[in-house]
Amino acid sequence: MSRPVLEVADLFRGHGPAWRRANAGHVSLGQLKVMSAIENCRTAALGGHVARCEDCAHTVIAYNSCRNRHCPKCQGAAARKWLAEREADLLPVPYFHVVFTLPAPIADIAYQNKAVIYDLLFKAAAETVLTIAADPKHLGARVGMTCVLHTWGSAMTHHPHLHMIVPGGGISLDGERWVSCRPGFFLPVRVLSRLFRRLLLTMLLAAHKVGRLQFFGNHGALADARAFAAYLAPLRRTEWVVYSKRPFGGPAAVLAYLSRYTHRVAIANSRLIACDRKGVSFKWKDYRAKGRHRQKIMTLATDEFIRRFLIHVLPRGFHRIRHYGLLAKAACADNIAQARKSLAVPSRSEQPDTSEAAALDEPRVLPRPCPCCGGRMIIIETFARGSTPRQRPTGPTIGIDTS
């Protein structure tokens, strides 16, 4: 795959130093680390490897990736590894995609309380689905789900929402059988919306009561309990956005979909068009428009583009992909085995893992074949950060995750 004409790393390298000076004291350490990682990604600053084709002796230098979860270039390999691990959990049933969105007033205070409110979004959404699904009036079953947090809209504005992938059914409450949902229908959206609203508002008030929320600037007055309760009061009378999309075609479609959603960042390099005196131009999708008019081009001042990108940096250690119910990690394997038994699907046979033993005998190779003849690219030298390799390349230097 050819390198995009313009990358976020190019913008950070060219405009990052001036932006950091102009915003000194207003940028978190986490955001600064993300900028540094993206700037250094797949450059000599991170070291790398020299690889040579075992057939035609074509030689290239491959620089290491930063592996930062906010880096647009590092998510492909991470997504493939994650999907391979999840493939064994898939069941031969329809899957549904449910989206939970924070109302704008809560999204406003979430930016000042990312770790707390994003966490409450996960918990409220998961509890909503688990509760309604367990109700005999609806499904009467224990279900499982994979949840992925996105904090951006297409224009990189702050728009926190949760994508939830749910199998279309669950294990009966007595644990004896698999209960399938109705064809093309999972759970009533309005019921989900109202329980989600009640649970999240209750959780927010509880978090405020024990001092877990902080407020600054225009929201400073919300530190008072009465002011905060008054701020939330109008939200009890509005309909919250919970959207259920049509079911997927099967497990293969679920994997393809997850590969596009699990490891996304605020903007992909492929959406960037140009950076000039006017600013940064990029493609975005206007969901209010119809058909071909939905795809548009936006130009932002470079400093505003950098600001918007960095508002989506997550707190250190925060997990943006989580599993609940039957898919919760503590008992996932047992639950999947039980679900397969209930569905009369043969369990996946456990094959001995020989990958580590094989890796000891096999030479390390790049994940991409030789661009000249398609042969294997064998790693013949490793060099440290900031060092110069001894071998000389016969082809262009590339950036790739070889570890």
Among 34-43, 46-55, 107-116, 244-253, the least confident range: 244-253
Give the pLDDT band (50/70/90) at residue 81: confident
Specify whether the CB–CB gap between 389 and 44 falls below 8 A.
no
| Selected residue with higher pLDDT from 318 and 3 | 318
Give the pLDDT band (50/70/90) at residue 347: low
Is the model's pLDDT at 308 over the cut of 90?
yes
Which among 3, 113, 23 is positioned nearest to 307, based on CA atoms?
A: 23
Say how far apart CA 158 and CA 13 lie, in whole Å. Answer: 24
Could you report the per-residue pLDDT of 206-252, keeping only the tens digit for each?
999 999 999 999 999 999 999 999 999 999 999 998 988 877 766 67
pLDDT value of position 357: 45
Is the model's pLDDT at 276 over the cut of 60?
yes
Query: For the chain, what percent of residues have pLDDT higher than 70?
Result: 92
Is the model's pLDDT at 354 over the cut of 60?
no
Residue 97 phi/psi, 5-degree rounding, is -115, 115
- In order, the DSSP letters of 12-24 are HHHHHHHHHHHTT
- DSSP-derived letter for residue 317 is T
- Per DSSP bridges, beta strands 398-399 and 59-63 are parallel
Is the model's pLDDT at 348 over the cut of 70?
no
Say how far apart CA 133 and CA 187 lie, in whole Å. Answer: 7
User: What is the reported pTM?
Assistant: 0.87
Is the model's pLDDT at 294 over the cut of 90?
no
* Mean pLDDT on 94-99: 90
Q: Count other C-beta atoms under 10 Å from residue 290's C-beta.
A: 8
pLDDT value of position 359: 46
Is the model's pLDDT at 102 over the cut of 70?
yes
Could you report the per-residue pLDDT of 162-189, keeping only the tens digit for each?
999 999 999 999 988 999 988 888 899 9
| Selected residue with higher pLDDT from 26 and 400 | 26
| Selected residue with higher pLDDT from 198 and 367 | 198
Say how far apart CA 403 and CA 397 lie, in whole Å. Answer: 17
pLDDT value of position 349: 52
CA distance between the termini of the chain: 19
Specify whether the CB–CB gap between 98 and 243 falls below 8 A.
yes
* Mean pLDDT on 272-276: 95
pLDDT value of position 352: 46
State the chain's mean pLDDT as an integer.
Answer: 88
- DSSP-derived letter for residue 333 is H
Query: For the chain, what percent of residues have pLDDT higher than 90?
Result: 60
The CA-atom distances, in angstroms, between 15 and each of 127, 137, 187 are: 44, 57, 48
pLDDT value of position 350: 47
- b or e along 48-67 (b: 16 or more beta carbons within 10 Å of the residue's beta carbon)? bbbbbbbeeebbbbbbbbbb
pLDDT value of position 2: 56
Say how far apart CA 53 and CA 39 lie, in whole Å. Answer: 29
* Mean pLDDT on 33-41: 96
